[in-house]
Amino acid sequence: MTQIVGIDLGTTYSAVAVVNEFDQPEVLTNRDGESITPSVVLFQGDVPLVGTMAKRAATTAPLDVVEFVKRAMGDPAWRFDATDGRTYRPEEVSALIVKRLKEDAELALGAPVTEAVITVPAYFDDAQRQATRDAGRIAGVDVVRVLNEPTAAAIAYGLASGFNGSILVYDLGGGTFDVTILRIDGAQFDILGTDGDRNLGGFDWDGELMRLLNERFVAAGGEDLLDGGELEAALRERAVLAKHSLSSVEKARVVLSGSAAPITLEVTRDDFEAATSALLSRTREMAEMVRDNAGLAWTDIDRVLLVGGSTRMPMVRRMVETDIGRPIERRIHPDEIVALGAAVQARLIESERGAAPDLTVNGARIEIGDVTSHGLGTLALNPDSGRLENTVIIPHNTKIPAKRPSYFSTVHENQSQVEIQVTIGDDTDPGYVRNATGDKPLMVRIPPYPAGAPIEVIYAYDIDQTVFVEVNDLTAHTSLGTFEVSNIANMSKNQVAEAADKMRTTEVG
């Protein structure tokens, strides 16, 4: 029996953890002795390189380096074109990262790793979760659970601290923002609400600082560095370094060079905070929305967990402590807590299988009640308006696993099939929801009934928030089948199997 590992597959950094022989979750260091591995891949030569060495190449070989691939997960159109002519899907790039994490974990454990719990942002939808599972499969890792990152952070924290009360998890990473409110009562973890922005993270703070630095560089006689190539990559690297130092000092000096002599610029923390205040406000507004939806006031939140590297920015801490006025839990490691929680979940699965003892809080087994991060619905014609409308069947923030029926009738005589469109989102306007089935709706054959024959469609989210649809014929009282919605955004099973075959013979460095 091999151990299930917990993987935090981050936008900028990833980490792997396991629960050790003392029942404590611990992060495994990678082959270079680092506890986190940059989620960066360099395609050069025969062996793709993952991690710190790949990240270093970002300025010298920007066209062969992939960063932030997590932002592309679930995007069917995204491809990375390496300069050698090969192209990669987001799942394949992620798989290279997973493969490297798997091999490093095998080195650290001295045993094969074949199964993992992988964390994802809570707001990841079905397609993005499926893409993550496929990345694991391509890398030769069976993803036994897809766990929400804030939930992972909360269970690691709750287990270590024995804390009871309501907490808000504010997770600002490299490319994503996630906020979740939950209640911890002993061994019971109940998520009360969650939301996020897949395009808000340290990357955006970098972008604002790059614009500011570029403006000053141009004003001082330099050329425009935002060229989309090497100059911009170098500017990004300098901007990230300056951003990091502004987390601990008030001023940073930045040396920038175009084709002419280098120019030294100074940027203060105030300049940086002014340039990025709108981004910070977006995180606050989202936190307030989640709090409102949970029916809570700020005073109901006992503690805030800051997760993700970007929460090291003093502006984030000040907003939470001074503007919102809630205490921050300082005893957690923002880079490791998510992986630790994934390891705890992995152990819970092992104990469910009877392969390991239970992990308990005061003798009680840990129970996690998570919720849906998106509404699930269907498109149907509104007979009154004559317009296509989205009907939400399982609303956002419903406890999972969730199952809800909805009832339809056939419209034509001898109709031989029903067509089901599955949507993800919370709006009644079809323009504001994602059509998971696209132009290939689920087609289910039915016996030739007269018009008006009742059909029951049961929508379901399982514990991983994978979407299932069950269709029942209420005339004959028979099941017409249960279907996993094969998202148009995802790779087919064959494509995944082929990519996995290719990966088996691919070395990663």
Q: How far apart are CA 436 and CA 374, in angstroms?
A: 12
Per the annotation, the verdict on 440 as an active-site residue is no
Report the partner that residue 311 touches, choosing among ligand ADP, Mg ion, none (CB closer than 5 to 8 A by kind): none
Q: Which of residues 275-334 bind Mg ion (CB under 5 A)?
A: 308
Which is nearest to 368 in space by CA: 194, 485, 197, 133? 194
Exactly one of 30, 132, 176, 372 binds ligand ADP (CB under 6 A); that residue is 176
DSSP 247-316: TTSSEEEEEE-SSSS-EEEEEEHHHHHHHHHHHHHHHHHHHHHHHHHTT--GGG--EEEEESGGGGSHHH
Q: Which residue number, 147 or 231, has a Cβ lying nearer to Mg ion? A: 147
Q: Which residue number, 240 or 422, has a Cβ lying nearer to ligand ADP? A: 240
Q: Which of residues 289-318 bind ligand ADP (CB under 6 A)?
A: 308-310, 312-313
Please check whether residue 402 is in contact with residue 461, taking contact to mean a CB–CB distance below 8 angstroms: yes
Q: Which residue number, 36 or 460, has a Cβ lying nearer to Mg ion? A: 36
Helix (H) or strand (E) holding 256: strand 251-256
Could you tell me whether strands 41-42 and 65-66 are parallel, antiparallel, or unpaired per DSSP bridges? antiparallel
Q: How far apart are CA 27 and CA 44, in angstroms?
A: 29
Burial class of residue 101 (count of CB atoms within 10 Å of its CB; 0-12, 13-18, 19+): buried
Residue 25 sits in the site that holds Mg ion (CB under 5 A):
no
Alpha helices in 378-424 (DSSP H): none
Per the annotation, the verdict on 70 as an active-site residue is yes
Per the annotation, the verdict on 321 as an active-site residue is no
| Partners of residue 364 on adjacent β-strands | 361
Catalytic residue among 67, 126, 171, 208: 171
Residue 202 sits in the site that holds Mg ion (CB under 5 A):
no
Q: How far apart are CA 422 and CA 134, in angstroms?
A: 21
Q: Which residue number, 200 or 469, has a Cβ lying nearer to Mg ion? A: 200
Per the annotation, the verdict on 149 as an active-site residue is yes
Name the minimum Å distance from CB 396 to Mg ion.
22
Q: Which of residues 331-370 bind ligand ADP (CB under 6 A)?
A: 335
**Span from 136-144, 198-206, 322-330, 406-414 in contact with ligand ADP (CB under 6 A):** 198-206
Residue 244 sits in the site that holds ligand ADP (CB under 6 A):
yes
Please check whether residue 508 is in contact with residue 98, taking contact to mean a CB–CB distance below 8 angstroms: no
Q: How far apart are CA 377 and CA 373, in angstroms?
A: 13
Catalytic residue among 149, 178, 204, 350: 149
Residue 10 sits in the site that holds Mg ion (CB under 5 A):
yes
Exactly one of 25, 51, 150, 173 binds Mg ion (CB under 5 A); that residue is 173
Name the minimum Å distance from CB 338 to ligand ADP.
7
Residue 465 sits in the site that holds ligand ADP (CB under 6 A):
no
Q: Applying CB under 6 A, which residues contact ligand ADP?
A: 10-13, 173-176, 201-203, 240, 243-244, 247, 308-310, 312-313, 335
Point out the residues that are catalytic: 8, 70, 149, 171
